[in-house]
Amino acid sequence: NAGVTQTPKFRVLKTGQSMTLLCAQDMNHEYMYWYRQDPGMGLRLIHYSVGEGTTAKGEVPDGYNVSRLKKQNFLLGLESAAPSQTSVYFCASSPGDSRGRSQYFGPGTRLTVL
Amino acid sequence: GENVEQHPSTLSVQEGDSAVIKCTYSDSASNYFPWYKQELGKRPQLIIDIRSNVGEKKDQRIAVTLNKTAKHFSLHITETQPEDSAVYFCAPGRGGSNSGYALNFGKGTSLLVTP
| CB-defined contacts A:B, below 8 A | 58
**Confidence band, pLDDT 50/70/90 cuts, at residue B98:** low
Q: Report the chain A residue with the minimal C-alpha distance to residue B4.
A: A42
Tens-digit pLDDT profile for residues B47-67: 999 988 779 999 999 999 999
Q: Is B106 on the interface with A (CB under 8 A)?
A: yes
Does residue A39 register a pLDDT over 90?
no
pLDDT of residue B99: 67
Question: What is the rounded average pLDDT of the residues A46-56?
Answer: 93
Tens-digit pLDDT profile for residues B5-21: 999 999 999 999 999 99
Q: Is B53 on the interface with A (CB under 8 A)?
A: no
Does residue B29 register a pLDDT over 90?
no
Does residue A60 register a pLDDT over 70?
yes
Q: What is the DSSP string of B46-98?
A: EEEEEETT-SEEEETTEEEEEETTTTEEEEEE-S--GGG-EEEEE--EE--GG
Query: What residues of B are in contact with residue A102 (Cβ under 8 Å)?
Result: 34, 46, 49
Nearest to A40 among B45, B103, B107 (CB): B107
In contact, B49 and B34? CB cutoff 8 Å:
yes
**Confidence band, pLDDT 50/70/90 cuts, at residue A101:** confident
